[in-house]
Each structure stands twice: as C-alpha cells, then as structure tokens.
Amino acid sequence: MLGAMQDWDLRVTHLIDHAARENGMREIVTRWADGSETRTDWAGIRRDALKMVQALRRLGVDKGDRVATLAMNHSRHLVSWYGAVGVGGILHTINPRLFEEQLEYIANHAEDRVLLYDAAFAPLVEKMKPRWTTIEHYICYDNGEFEAWIGAEDGHTEWAQGDERDPCMLCYTSGTTGNPKGVLYEHRSTMLHALVSLQPAIFNADPRAVMLPVVPMFHAASWGLPWGGAAAGIKFVYSAVNDPAVLCELMNREKVTHSAGVPTVWLSMFQHMDQTGETLPHLKTAIIGGSAAPRFMIERLAKSGVDVAHAWGMTETSPIGTTGAKTPDWDELDFDRQISIKQLQGRPPFGVELRCVDLDDPTKVVPRDGETAGALQVRGPWVIKRYFKAEEDATTPDGWFDTGDVGIIHPDGTLQLTDRTKDVIKSGGEWISSVELENAAVGHPDVAEAAAIGMPHPKWDERPVLFVVRKEGSALSSGDLRDYLADKVAKWWLPDAVEFVDDIPHTATGKISKKDLRERFSDYVLET
C-alpha cells in the first residue's frame, strides 16, 4: 500500500519556483570584476534560467548532458545553475585553479558539451580548447555574450521533468593522489541538503538574511547556497573578485548579515580591517569551513558579535557534514569554553551519521569518548555512494563512506578533526596529530604558516618535523618555538626539528599540500 499524499518530486527546480513566487523581489547583487555592479532578483534569475533552458535546447542539449561553468560568483553563474538543471542537464562546476592536466582530465571525463566561462578565464579556455575533446559550445559570461545568447529567447517554457533520483550536478574533488574524482549529486540529495542547511545551527537563514558567499561557486557545490538560498529567499551579494577592500565595502553598504568562506578569507579581511580601522557592524553569522578555523579567528569574530559556525564537510558530502551547533548547556558556558567548543568541528545535523573506526582495524568502531581517535566514516542521503563512472561503490559493505579524515567524537556528538589518515604521524606505535601540532604552532605571533610531517626515524618509526614560514621581519628560532609549544602539546609530540622555509606548497583549493611538501623534502634526514 502507498501513502495517499500528492506527487511532488524533490527536484531542485521547485526551489527557484518558490524563490520567484514568494521572494521574487529579493535582490541578487553582483559586483563584477571590472568594478561595475548589477542588480536582479529571484524572479529575474528564474526568468533568465528559463531563457537559458530554451537556449540550451537550441544547442541540442538534452537530459543528462553536462553543462560546465568556469566562473566566479555572480548572478549569471546563478542563472546557469538553474538553467543547466532546468533543461534536465547536469551542472558541472569547474575549479579554474586546478592544474591544466586536471582541467583537461575532468572536462573530458565529464564529457562536458557546453562551457560557460568568465572573460577573466578566456586565456585559459583558449589554451585548453585543443585538449578538451567533448565541448561543442563555448559561451562567455561577459562582453554581452551571455545576455545576447539568452536574450534571443522569450522564457515561455517549462522545466524538464523527471525522477527525483536523476543527477543534477557534478563536482570533482582533486584528491592528493591519482586523477580527480567526480561526485554526482541527485535532485533529491541536493534538495534534502538544501532544506537542512537553513536550520539555525548551519546557515540560520530566512528572507531577512543578506548573504555574501565568499566560497566560490565552483568549490564543493559551494556549500549548497545557491539551492538553500532560494528555499529561504535570502538576498545574495556576490563579488566576482575576492579583494578584502571590495568585500568589506560591499558588506557594509549592502548590510550583509551572513558570510561563508574558508579560514584564509578571514585572515586577509582582518589584515585589511586592521589597516583601515573598518568594522563589520551588520555581520551576524559567519560560516567557516573547508579547513580548520584557528581559535584567534573564532574569538575575534565572536568578540565583535558574530556567531561563528565552524563547519566540516567535503565534496563527497554535498558538502555539509557537521557545523558548530550549540550544545544544550551552551548558555551556561563561559566565553572561553564556548570558543573551545566552536574550535571543534561541530555536530552533525539530522541526516548525517558519523562514526570513527580503529585506524589499524576498521572493523572495530571506536567509542565516542572524546579521547579515542579513529578513521571518520559518514553516511546519509547526501553522502556519496559511488564516484562518477566508477565500477565499484565507494562505501564499506555496511554502507559507510570513509572520509580519509581522522577524528575524535565527543560524548555529546561533537566531532573533533585531528588529521587526514595519510598525514597522521606514527611514533612508537602511537599516533601524533599533525594538525594539532600545526594549530598550536600558528598560535605563535611570529608564525605565518606551519605544516608538520612525519619523517622516518630508526627507533620510533616516524617523528614529527615542523616546517614553518615566519612572519616578515621575525627572527623566531627553533628553540623559541619548541619552548612555546612545550605546554600546548604532549611532550612526546614536540617536533624533533623545526625547519624554517620561505613557503609551504598548497593544493589548487588552497589547502596545505603535504604530498608536495614530502616530495620537496624526500631527501631529508632527521638528526638522531
């Protein structure tokens, strides 16, 4: 027997229909790379997306076809999200910061048919054209090209219909080894993720929210904001450039209440604010994720009245996994304790299940005791089952996805991320968290960046070596730093050596690349 309620498939086009109908006049502001600004609204985004559906059909784009974008954050990019899925296609957001080999691989692997791109990436597109074998149509967002392309249509059409389990979006994740892997989201998974993302512990969004998402729309499904934002009817303020002066000016002029970005965004914002004395009086909520947010960052924002939600997630989890949800006793905790909790990666919302398994024996689930570290596994309706075009599932036989992260789960469900499985340092049979060492080191006022890796050791198997970029003009010594760390980490965690370097390698998504660091120091011999 089936239930007796209406058929209303969880397809993401419902989101834009709702936004246009209920919050149609809520603005979408774009500050373009050339300094100009445009304003549209949710009704305008829907109208243009329907025109784009017609324009795509004219190019022969059909159900299941991949429509790629190579673009920063702006209203035309938002139109394309809905236009691509509206024709029944699969939106493929490409990260322009990937290396050329990766760009070649993913567009060909995805079999993209159309590419929409920013004029700023035109030289890259020209260079890649001969290597991209499946793209038939190139459309530039700028110089009137996109507007002319959709402007030839009247928008009198319908969204493609289909099953809620149809795919709607494809995002590649560039692992540290091998080729990038595609994560194929479905309408249903995306819709459930969007609905959950609005709750207070995550984006805390309703139509009063004015959101400036600094996280680029090409990264990790841009935290689902173009979908969730439509459900809530929030006002978006986009900036096609990530210059802190521009961001600050926009945030204040448009009275931005919400922002979302990786921690490095805040480093440059703080620097700018320190130089100019500017403040952000309207900002109420900052969602920070993608890598660990340092304590001083959370503290500074909290002191200025901003509620920080520190989030953990990955491309494979759509990407929301956990956020800095408040614990039941939150209001009784003092400020310091609250900051300490926010520094952890938060708790999973309804829809995400977490567990940690033993690092040596993955059949053993480790207790949620706030002490035992294990390999973090996750499951839920917006978590990956199988990579795009892969033959085999990416999950364990009992349906869990192994994240590659190492974590500790506290008795109240709070996740504490301690490392990547590939990066933990094994010393004398015990695990040392490279991330905790790094976090402790960057707390030193003279340290700009730090990365810890395990180096072979004849007695202990591996011992930590800390690579440090000093702040300009600093004369910090290895001894100073070890003294500073002495009361911050266990004695046997103290690095055997501190090496000062000019720079630390990063991945295309801006994270420290331990793989490249290891390669750079492959001849390194630890003095014993």
Question: Which tokens go with 116?
Answer: 């929409």
Residue 233 engages ligand AMP in binding (rule: CB under 6 A): no
Q: Give min distance, CB of 312 to ligand AMP, in A.
A: 4
**What is the contact mask toward ligand AMP in residues 340 to 359, using x (rule: CB under 6 A)?**
-----x--------------
First to last CA, the chain: 72
CB of 309 to ligand AMP, least distance (A): 10
Looking at the Cβ atoms of 180 and 244, the one nearer to ligand AMP is 180
Residue 46 touching ligand AMP (CB under 6 A): no
CA proximity to 380, closest of 420, 345, 349: 349
Respond yes or no: is residue 181 known to be catalytic. Answer: no
Alpha helices in 98-139 (DSSP H): 100-110, 122-128
Residue ranges in 322-392 assigned as alpha helix (H): 335-343
Give the Cα separation of 517 and 511 in Å (integer): 12
Stretch that binds ligand AMP, among 144-152, 297-305, 397-405, 516-524 (CB under 6 A): 397-405
Cis peptide preceding 294, ω within 30 of 0: no
**Which stretch, 41-49, 241-249, 295-303, 305-313, contacts ligand AMP (CB under 6 A)?**
305-313
The answer to the question of residue 220 lying near ligand AMP (CB under 6 A) is yes
Minimum gap (Å) between residue 439 Cβ and ligand AMP = 10
Does 434 sit near ligand AMP (CB under 6 A)?
Answer: no
Is residue 438 within 8 Å of residue 447, measured between CB atoms?
no
| 173 part of the interface to ligand AMP, by CB under 6 A | yes
Q: Which of 93, 173, 190, 322 is catalytic?
A: 173
What letter does residue 505 receive in the DSSP assignment?
-
Report the residue number, 26 or 258, with the smaller CB distance to ligand AMP.
258
Percentages helix, strand, coil for the chain (3-state, rounded to 5) are 30, 25, 40
Single-letter residue type at 422: K
In the complex with ligand AMP, which residue's Cβ is closer, 199 or 474? 199
Comparing CA positions, the residue from 9, 304, 279 lying closest to residue 163 is: 9
Q: Which of 14, 272, 326, 420 binds ligand AMP (CB under 6 A)?
A: 420
Q: Which of 203, 312, 460, 493 binds ligand AMP (CB under 6 A)?
A: 312
Of 60, 28, 58, residue with least CA distance to 42: 28
Give me the catalytic one of 153, 164, 254, 316: 316
Residue 441: half-sphere exposure toward Cβ, Cα within 13 Å: 34
**Min dist. Cβ of residue 443 to ligand AMP (A):** 16
C-beta closer to ligand AMP: residue 229 or 324: 324
Which tokens in the block code for residue 331?
A: 């209001």
Catalytic residue among 426, 488, 511, 515: 426
Nearer CB in complex with ligand AMP: 56/292: 292
Residue 382 DSSP label = T
8 Å CB contact between 71 and 141? yes
Closest residue by Cα to residue 204 from 322, 286, 320: 286
Q: Is 290 in the site for ligand AMP (CB under 6 A)?
A: yes
Closest CB to ligand AMP among residues 45, 98: 98
Q: Which one of 286, 314, 466, 517 is in contact with ligand AMP (CB under 6 A)?
A: 314
The answer to the question of residue 95 lying near ligand AMP (CB under 6 A) is no
Per CB under 6 A, which region of 87-95, 233-241, 308-316, 443-451 contacts ligand AMP?
308-316
462 is annotated as an active-site residue: no
Query: Whole-number minimum distance, CB 390 to ligand AMP, in Å?
Result: 17
- What type of residue is 355? R
Based on CB atoms, which residue is closest to ligand AMP, 168 or 311?
311
Give yes or no for residue 289 binding ligand AMP (CB under 6 A).
Answer: yes
Q: Report if residue 319 touches ligand AMP, rule: CB under 6 A.
A: yes
In sequence order, the β-bridge partners of residue 456 are 462
Partner residues linked to 432 by β-bridges: 425
Question: Rounded CA gap, 360 and 464, in Å?
Answer: 20
The stretch among 233-241, 287-295, 347-355, 515-523 that binds ligand AMP (CB under 6 A) is 287-295
Cα(438)–Cα(432) distance, integer angstroms: 11
Catalytic-labelled residue, pool 249, 327, 396, 431: 431
- Residue 254 near ligand AMP by CB under 6 A: no
Segment interacting with ligand AMP (CB under 6 A) among 118-126, 284-292, 386-394, 462-470: 284-292
Helix (H, G, I), strand (E, B) or coil at 321: strand
237 binds ligand AMP (CB under 6 A): no
- Using CB under 6 A, pick the residue from 153, 166, 405, 438 that binds ligand AMP: 405
Shorter beta-carbon distance to ligand AMP: residue 20 or 344 = 344
Query: Residue 213: is the preceding peptide bond cis (ω within 30°)?
Result: no
CA 145, 220, 258 angle in degrees (round to 5)?
85
481-484 CB contacts, 8 Å cutoff, 24+ apart: 481/441, 481/444, 481/447, 484/444
- Residue 173 among the catalytic residues: yes
How many residues are listed for the chain in this entry? Answer: 528
Cβ partners under 8 Å of residue 267, min gap 6: 297
What residues line the site for ligand AMP (CB under 6 A)? 173, 220, 289-292, 310-315, 319, 345, 403-405, 417, 420, 509
The set of catalytic residues is 173, 316, 426, 431
